[in-house]
Amino acid sequence: MPIEPFRFLHTGDLHLDSPFVGLTAEAPPEVARALRDSTLQAWQRIVKLALDEQVDFAVVAGDAFEHANRTLLAQVRFRDGLEALSAAGIPSFVVTGNHDPLSGWEPSVRWPEHSHRFGADAVEARPVIRGGREIARVYGISYPVRAVTENLALRFRRDADAPYAVAVLHANVGGQPGHMPYSPCTLSDLRASGIEYWALGHIHRPGVLSESGPTVVYCGNPQGRDPGETEPRGAYVVEVDSAGAAVPVFHATDAVRWQLLELDIGQVEGEESLVDAVVAAVEGAQHAAARPIVVRVTLVGRGGLHRSMNRGSLRDEVRQLAQERLPTEGRFAWIESLRDATRPLADLGSAAPATFLGELSGEADAGREALGRQVDTDSDEESAAAATWEDALEELYGNSRVRRVLHGRRPDRRRLAELLTDAERLAVDRMVESG
């Protein structure tokens, strides 16, 4: 039976008022303000997108807030956005996620008239009425607490009389790595529900898991907030035609974009040229992004500049000189840091195994090998070898104050192996320098 075509907005993972991760303390005021307000800005853009596109309704798939205890500013801004939609006659449907479960504190801010936040007890269904007729039915359920390990998708069942069913849920479909396995489910679970469109949140990288039968979409977060979130971020405007076919169209809404650039020093001659190369690389990235960017530049490759990199202030100087040539207002390009992963023209250690440097290289290789093995296959001896390196960091990461702040961010073995490589390079450089 044909349905009335309609259009809706799918967003989520707003993480409103969450800080911008990175070294931003030295950023000029305008950049700092833009970074601080980036999630709020992105939310405003989403609201504008919904108004411009004249959607029939909007869904927010969890994690509207960064903290379970919503910040006042975030709550007010979120309310303001929903109110703007409500004033335009656009109803909105919100579920909470692991970051903003219903158990958290929230300031007593008045909820807009045409906005509905789903409860956590059961899946609710809310009709979307247009011109006196129901055009779609939105289903949803919120997280009562942070860690929801139940497969909530199994609770969804489409009503037979619903013209079109949209489910809003914060969930990890297919156990996607890098994200907590909250409300774990599979595509089969979703398919079994009979729902036509699954508006999902939780995974920050936007993407369409299934184009039809049902359409399953992660909207992603509308604003990348750390160096791991570099791609365009935004929201989907979904067109549903009379046959019930949904076409989600992605719209970038990020106010600032993270960019990770690698710059090979192989072709760079001298420090001044390095500044030029950094500026050119950043400008190219900004042109591609067409918006303000925050850039982390990592120098890689082998070259004569490698030795200069060990001079403590050089990278800061290069970064500062390059930054002076880049805009810091309007569509700015802020170099968050300039990192060194360069190598000397030739590795000294590997060339002479009988020398001290050769021994040092061998020791580092052994360490990396021990750290690279899977934990469950470690022999006692190998475990001890790996533990040697892990213990080396105990002084810092075992410290209670540090542990509290950097909780969960102690380098794992893989990272430890990378750090060991950096340590090896540092030691060799120092030995060569002092020689």
Contact region for another protein (CB under 8 A) — 71-79, 148-156, 189-197, 243-251?
A: 71-79
Select the residue interacting with another protein from 119, 360, 382, 387 (CB under 8 A).
360
Contact between 18 and another protein by CB under 8 A: the answer reads: yes
Residues ≥6 apart with Cβ < 8 Å to 205: 218, 220, 229, 231
Contact between 419 and another protein by CB under 8 A: the answer reads: yes
341: phi then psi, degrees, rounded to nearest 5: -135, 35
Contact between 401 and another protein by CB under 8 A: the answer reads: yes
Contact between 24 and another protein by CB under 8 A: the answer reads: yes
Q: Which residue has the tokens 């497969």?
A: 151
- Can the peptide bond before residue 214 be classed as cis, meaning omega within 30 degrees of 0? yes
Contact between 364 and another protein by CB under 8 A: the answer reads: yes
CB of 13 to another protein, least distance (A): 17
Tokens of 408: 């969960």
CB of 338 to another protein, least distance (A): 12
Residues ≥6 apart with Cβ < 8 Å to 125: 137, 138, 139, 159, 162
Tokens of 144: 């009562």
CB of 356 to another protein, least distance (A): 4
Pick 121 or 394: Cβ nearer another protein:
394
Contact between 389 and another protein by CB under 8 A: the answer reads: yes
CB of 371 to another protein, least distance (A): 11
End-to-end Cα distance, the chain: 83
How many of the chain's residues bind another protein (CB under 8 A)? 62
Q: How far apart are CA 144 and CA 415, in angstroms?
A: 35
Q: What is the pattern of x (binds another protein, CB under 8 A) and - over residues 304-343?
A: ---------------------------------x------
Neighbours of 241 (CB within 10 A): 13
Contact between 76 and another protein by CB under 8 A: the answer reads: yes
Contact between 284 and another protein by CB under 8 A: the answer reads: no
Select the residue interacting with another protein from 53, 271, 363, 378 (CB under 8 A).
363
Pairing mode, if any, of strands 115-117 and 293-302? Answer: unpaired
CB of 36 to another protein, least distance (A): 4
Contact region for another protein (CB under 8 A) — 190-198, 251-259, 278-286, 358-366?
A: 358-366
Binders of another protein among residues 32 to 51 (CB under 8 A) are 32, 35-37
Query: Containing H/E element for 216?
Result: strand 215-218
Provide the phi-psi class of 304: left if phi over 0, else alpha when psi is between -120 and 50, else beta: alpha
E-only strand ranges, 20-132: 57-61, 92-95, 115-117, 124-130
**CA torsion 81→330→327→342, rounded to 10°?**
10
144: phi then psi, degrees, rounded to nearest 5: -75, -35
Q: Site residues (CB under 8 A) for another protein? A: 17-25, 32, 35-37, 69, 71-73, 76, 105, 107-109, 337, 348, 352, 354-360, 363-364, 367, 388-389, 392-393, 395-397, 399, 401-402, 405-406, 409, 411, 416, 419-420, 422-424, 426-427, 430-432, 434-435
